[in-house]
């Protein structure tokens, strides 16, 4: 029996397009489903373990939420499990069934780029990673491309550079990532680009990385510069990058609905004190007209009408009154302490890898990279 398959890119197109309603049937176990699931506005998702289909086929078929003439798209960790369930459904009379080629890790690795800004001087793109809730950026102009917070999968950046006829020359890290494996080191090796990061995070890195200092400038042309703004708190080396005096790539220093959590390094109080100073002396002073481009998102409702995770600082301030109202340090520390929560076990491993220490196979890296980020200072 020949079974149909679909790709992660097709799943994105369906989830955010106008195709007929379909059921996304995730057949992994409850624990894996809770750790990393496919999310999109209005997506119809059901979790039924493939083990249940093996042990109690008839009962499991009765639980499938879709009618037999409705499309069912299966996702699992591995092709074999998905194909098994697909065969069961087809034999039971479901007429439109397909499984995700390559399994859930292909969704975890998917990057989709969207145009943020275009003028005669430069183009700015946002790379959205739906499986992680992470965002990276590419600045294109004057025969060059600069990438900010590159993810582990390099092909999308290389493909964009090739399509634009430009060379990747600079790479910037906003901070030492804990939730995903950075592609900075690998992209630098693949392209010869120079990699930059603040010594507060990268002083111990086992690879070459240029030290970033507060107010440092990089000029793409006489009319276009990128300026580093040291914004510690989420991590000691957290750095925001201002492009053309307008766009603020903040990493996790400031998110659309929160600040970055300062407890991922195991020192929440001293880092939170730094975060308070950053908030009071830098972030609150940024003009309302500046455009925030964060490093992560928590929910698809954070997108603007153009499908971008981008808001003016004025909008962000209105969305976060508890952060931007006047407060004292002890009040801020209490606010943060109420949002300290356990972090995923893999975060310590990822931080170590992002310093160039230790090695993992590609399969292990894919597994580490699964799961939605937990980088915001929030209660969930």
Buried b (16+ CB within 10 A) or exposed e, 72-104: bbbbbbebebbbbbbebbbeeebebbbbbebbb
Q: Which residues are catalytic?
A: 76
Which DSSP letter does residue 198 get? Answer: -
Q: Is the pLDDT confidence value at 365 over 80?
A: yes
Q: Which domain holds residue 229?
A: 111-368
* 23 neighbors 44 (Cβ within 8 angstroms): yes
Q: In whole angstroms, give the CA distance from residue 327 to residue 378.
A: 18
Q: Which of 108-117, 240-249, 362-371 has the lowest mean pLDDT?
A: 362-371
CATH of residue 133: 3.60.15.10
**60's tokens:** 């499991």
Inside any domain, residue 375: no
Q: Looking at per-residue confidence, does 32 or 161 come out higher?
A: 161
What pLDDT score does 116 carry? 99
At residue 379 the predicted structure's pLDDT band, cuts being 50, 70 and 90, is: low
Q: Do 131 and 155 belong together in one domain?
A: yes
CB 313 within 8 A of CB 289: yes
84 and 125 together in one domain? no
Q: What is the CA radius of gyration of the chain?
A: 22
Residues 134 and 269 in one domain: yes
Establish if 273 belongs to a structural domain. Answer: yes
pLDDT at 42: 85
Tally of domains within the chain: 2
Residue 86, both tokens = 């697909």
Query: Residue 289, SS3?
Result: coil
CB 260 within 8 A of CB 375: yes
- Domain membership flag for residue 17: yes
Residue 377 has pLDDT above 70, yes or no: no
Same domain, 33 and 100: yes
Residue appearing with tokens 């699931």: 37
- Is there a single domain that holds both residue 282 and residue 359? yes
User: In this structure, is residue 140 part of a structural domain?
Assistant: yes
Name, in order, each residue with C-beta under 8 angstroms of 108's C-beta and a sequence gap of 6 or more: 36, 131, 132, 366, 369, 370, 371
Decide if 360 contacts 368 (C-beta within 8 A).
yes
Mean per-residue pLDDT for 33-50?
A: 92
Query: Residue 2: pLDDT above 80?
Result: no
Q: Give 278-311 pLDDT, tens digit per residue.
A: 999 999 999 999 999 999 999 999 999 999 999 9
Q: Point out the least confidently predicted range of 31-45, 62-76, 198-212.
A: 31-45
What's the token pair of residue 239?
A: 């750095």
157 pLDDT above the threshold of 60:
yes
Residue 263 has pLDDT above 80, yes or no: yes
pLDDT tier at 16, thresholds 50, 70, 90 = confident
Q: What is the pLDDT of residue 315?
A: 97
Residues in the chain: 380
Res. 211: pLDDT tops 80: yes
Tell me, yes or no, whether 376 lies in a domain.
no
pLDDT at site 380: 53
Q: What pLDDT band is residue 378 in, cutting at 50, 70 and 90?
A: low
Domain annotation covers residue 373: no
**Same domain, yes or no, for 144 and 281?**
yes
What rounded mean pLDDT belongs to the chain? 94
Single out the residue of 380, 268, 280 nearest to residue 333, CA to CA: 268
Tokens of 206: 């086992």
What region, left, alpha or beta, does residue 32 occupy, with left being phi > 0 and alpha being psi -120 to 50 degrees?
alpha
Please report the sign of the dihedral spanned by the C-alpha atoms of residue 25, residue 27, residue 33, residue 37: negative
Cα–Cα dist 232/240, whole Å? 9
Shared domain check, 308 and 207: yes
């Amino acid at each position: 029996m020949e079974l149909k398959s679909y790709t992660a890119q097709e799943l994105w197109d369906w989830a955010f397009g106008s195709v007929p309603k379909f059921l996304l049937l995730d057949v992994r176990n409850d624990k894996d489903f809770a750790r990393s699931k496919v999310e999109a506005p209005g997506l119809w998702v059901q979790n039924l373990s493939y083990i249940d289909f093996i042990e109690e086929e008839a009962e499991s078929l009765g639980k499938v939420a879709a009618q037999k003439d409705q499309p069912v798209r299966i996702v699992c960790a591995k092709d074999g499990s998905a194909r098994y369930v697909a065969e069961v459904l087809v034999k039971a009379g479901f007429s439109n069934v397909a499984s995700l080629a390559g399994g859930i890790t292909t969704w975890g690795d998917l990057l989709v780029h969207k145009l943020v800004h275009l003028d005669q001087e430069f183009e700015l793109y946002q790379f959205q990673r739906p499986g992680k809730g992470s965002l990276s950026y590419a600045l294109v102009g004057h025969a060059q491309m600069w990438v900010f917070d590159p993810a582990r999968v390099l092909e999308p950046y290389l493909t964009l550079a090739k399509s634009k006829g430009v060379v990747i020359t600079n790479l910037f890290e906003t901070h030492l990532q804990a939730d995903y494996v950075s592609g900075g080191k690998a992209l630098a090796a693949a392209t010869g680009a120079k990699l930059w990061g603040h010594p507060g995070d990268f002083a111990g890195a086992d690879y070459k990385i240029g030290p970033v200092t507060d107010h440092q400038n990089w000029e793409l042309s006489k009319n276009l510069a990128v300026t580093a703004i040291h914004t510690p708190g989420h991590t000691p080396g957290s750095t925001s990058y201002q492009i053309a005096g307008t766009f603020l790539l903040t990493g996790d220093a400031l998110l659309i609905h929160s600040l970055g959590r300062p407890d991922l390094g195991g020192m929440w109080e001293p880092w939170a004190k730094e975060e308070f100073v950053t908030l009071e002396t830098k972030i609150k002073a940024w003009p309302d007209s500046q455009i925030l481009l964060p490093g992560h998102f928590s929910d698809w409702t954070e997108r603007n009408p153009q499908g971008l995770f981008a808001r003016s600082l004025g909008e962000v301030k209105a969305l976060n009154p508890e952060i931007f109202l006047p407060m004292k340090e002890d009040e801020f520390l209490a606010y943060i302490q109420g949002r300290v929560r356990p972090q995923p076990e893999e975060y310590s491993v990822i931080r170590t890898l992002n310093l160039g220490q230790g090695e993992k196979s590609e399969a292990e890296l894919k597994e580490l990279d699964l799961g939605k980020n937990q980088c915001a200072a929030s209660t969930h």
